[in-house]
């Protein structure tokens, strides 16, 4: 599936091919910290399919608990997270679904790093709802 996306301020724009069946929720503590929320939703795109139409992400290298070095790419202007990838030889980019124009049609198909999942994320049905703040 072809997707397109951009950061919050629009300085970084991209397009890529993803497999919608591989959209995943990441519950790892690094993802919680890097997003400032409970989890991250990503979809893999091959290096060959990812094209930046505008801008170049700033890269931060994070060494995971496993020792693997991951490039965390974001907009230097607005801070929007764009992707993560292997820091040395990226063959696949984990694109952030929230940056994609098609995000409403890309439900997650699996959850990983569930041992780090916050206990309250599995059921939000009892929370008060409002269409606006």
Written as six digits, the tokens of 11 are 């300085």
Instruction: HSE, CB side, 13 Å, CA atoms: give it for residue 96.
Output: 23
In this structure, which topology does domain 2-116 adopt according to CATH? 2.170.150
Taking residues 83-110, report their average pLDDT: 96
**Which of these, 61, 39, 1, 16, lies nearest to 115 by C-alpha position?**
39
Q: What is the mean pLDDT of the chain?
A: 94
Among all chains, which residue has been given the structure tokens 């939703």?
A: 41
pLDDT single digits (tens) 7-53: 999 999 999 999 999 999 999 888 888 889 999 999 999 999 999 99
- The answer to whether the beta carbons of residues 31 and 84 sit under 8 Å apart is no
Q: What does the alpha-carbon distance between residue 41 and residue 19 come to, in Å, rounded to a whole number?
A: 14
| pTM, entire model | 0.91
Residue 29 phi, psi (nearest 5): -65, -30
What pLDDT does 31 receive? 87
Q: What does the alpha-carbon distance between residue 81 and residue 79 come to, in Å, rounded to a whole number?
A: 6
Taking residues 76-104, report their average pLDDT: 96
pLDDT beyond 90 at 60: yes
Length of the chain: 133
Within its chain, how far is the Cα of 70 from the centroid? 13
């Amino acid at each position: 599936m072809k997707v397109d996306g951009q950061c919050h301020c629009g300085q970084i724009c991209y397009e890529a091919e993803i497999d919608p069946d591989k959209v995943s929720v990441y519950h790892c503590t690094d993802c919680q910290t890097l997003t400032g929320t409970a989890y991250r939703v990503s979809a893999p795109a091959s290096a060959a399919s990812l094209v930046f139409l505008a801008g170049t992400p700033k890269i931060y290298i994070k060494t995971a608990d496993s020792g693997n070095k991951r490039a965390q790419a974001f907009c230097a202007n607005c801070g929007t997270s764009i992707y993560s990838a292997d820091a040395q030889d990226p063959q696949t980019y984990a694109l952030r679904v929230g940056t994609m124009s098609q995000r409403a049609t890309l439900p997650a198909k699996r959850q990983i790093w569930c041992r780090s999942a916050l206990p309250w994320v599995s059921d939000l049905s009892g929370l008060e709802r409002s269409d606006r703040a």
